[in-house]
Structure formats: C-alpha cells, structure tokens
Amino acid sequence: MEKHVFLKEIVAFLKDELIDVYGDPQSIIVKHLRDPEHVDEFTLDWINPGKPEKQKIAETSKAKAIVVDKDVVFSEVLRNQGKVLLVATNPKLAIAKAGNEFFVEKVTPGIHPTAVIHPDAQIGKNVYIGPNAIIEKCVIGDDSIIDANVHIYSSVIMGKHCTVKSGAVLGGMGFGFEKDESGNLFRFPQIGNLFIGEYVEIGANTCIDRGALSDTVIGDYCKINNLCHIAHNNKIGMNVVITAQVNISGSNVIEDDVWIAPNATIRGWIRIGKSATIGMGAVVTKDIPAGETWVGNPARKLEK
C-alpha cells in the first residue's frame, strides 16, 4: 500500500541519526521506498557510502529526498532541483529505521482464535500470536510477534520486541542421552530454561532447545535465520548473527558480535570469541579467538 508521509515527519523521527539537513523538507511528500531502478520523485532515496560517484548519483536521482553521507555536497545543481539532502553518519541505518517506522505494514496485536494458550502463560502488552501457535506456560515480552504454527514450551522466558517466524520450536527437550552397562541409551534430564533476550529474531522452522541442568541463553539483538538448530546449554551473546541452516551442538559459548555464515556446523563445548566470523559450510571443531575468520572442514584460520 502506498503511503503519504511528509518529509518533515521523517526528519523529526531521524533527528538522532542525522548530522544535517540541506534544503526545505516542509512541503515534500514521500510515498515509498524503491530500488535504484525504480526511483521517482516520491521515493525516499539513499546512497550507499561505498558507491563511487556519489555526487553524480545524488544529482541524477529522480527523488526529491535523498539520505546521504557527509561526502555528498549540497551543490548548486541539487539546490536548483529543489532536492533535500538528509546527511547521516550511516545512511543505510537511517533508511532502515525510517522504512520500518513509516513504510512497513505493522502487525496488529492480538491472539488468533486458533492459537492454543496456556492459562498461566505470561503474555506482555501489544503481542501478536498467529494461527495454530501453541504457547505453553512461558513468558513472552511486550511488542513481540509470534507467527503461525510456532510452539513455545514452558521453559521459555522471552524478552520484549522479539519476532518468531512460522514453524519455530522453542524450549523443547535437548538431545542428551547416557548408556547403561548394556549400551542402551537413556535420556539425560532436560530441565533447564531457554532465556531469549530483547529484539531477538528467530527464523522459520528453527529449533532452539532448553538447557539440560543449566540454561540455554540467546542474547539481546541476536538475529537467527531460517532452518537453524541450536542445542541445549548454548550461551550466545549479544548481536550474534546466525544465518540459514546453521547447526550448533550443545554447550558452546559464542561471544558478542559473532557472524556465522550459512550451513556452518559447530561441534560443541567450544568458545567462539567476540567479533569472530565463521565461513560458509565451515565445521568448527576447536576454539576460535576473538576477531578471527575461520573457514573450511575442519575449520581453520583464514590468513589475510
């Protein structure tokens, strides 16, 4: 659906992101965000700081309002075109925040009639729970979105502003067994919790297990893509990115700001240091120091 937003509203919303504003935003109307090939006069355009010829891009854009970095000058050409430059330290972050605020369709809070909710579940304010979701005796923070067919077990304590996409299973029993003298497998107790921080996003059909005797912990602002598995007792820090089809065995410590690329596998009982990067398809079998990039099978440090 096309919007009708005054640019001055966007400027007011982005006040903490903007260094300066050049031109007059008062009468300009923004209707949409668009890719570069379809920009028109009603687009809130933006220029990636890594692009060459940023000045030329700004001067030839059809948009009246453009988010730029400080390298783009409010030239006579831009002034004569009646354009407005919104100068930001991080134009992509500014466009993301404005886009989510003004141009993304928001889910209306509420509980779908087909959802199954435990009477003692603690559900915060402005929460959406979708069709056929199963919500056991858990805690769900304010402003969270729980999509269709999600199962959240009683072991889960989830913070505010979380999003859980369709088919995810959170807080089920982990895969832990012990053999008797005859080699027969018996389940080890899985009685810990799953703590999920604030502003966490969990992808479709992802499974995150509760702890065994300790807890599984997912830190604030973590983003977990579709079809991932995170086993019991993992301790995952803040702002960790776990992309699609990652498999994380139990009892790892993954520190803040780690990036894990698609199809990576992490063995278990491993520490991955702050800001480390794990490459596509890597099989991690030993600790990874902070800030390093490891690739391959078995994973090894990528020398620069």
Return the active site residues: 232
Place of tokens 């990115």: 241
Contact 247, 284 (CB under 8 A): no
DSSP secondary structure code for residue 211 in this structure:
P
- Number of neighbours of residue 40 by Cβ within 10 angstroms: 13
Q: Which tokens belong to 25?
A: 């935003």
Alpha helices in the chain (DSSP H): 7-13, 54-60, 76-80, 91-102
First to last CA, the chain: 47
Q: What is the b/e burial string over 276-292, where b = at least 16 CB atoms within 10 angstroms of the residue's CB?
A: bbbbeebbbeeebeeeb
Contact 58, 72 (CB under 8 A): yes
Q: 3-class DSSP state for residue 92?
A: helix
Contact 287, 266 (CB under 8 A): no
Contact 272, 289 (CB under 8 A): no
Name the phi and psi angles at 121, rounded to 5.
-65, 140
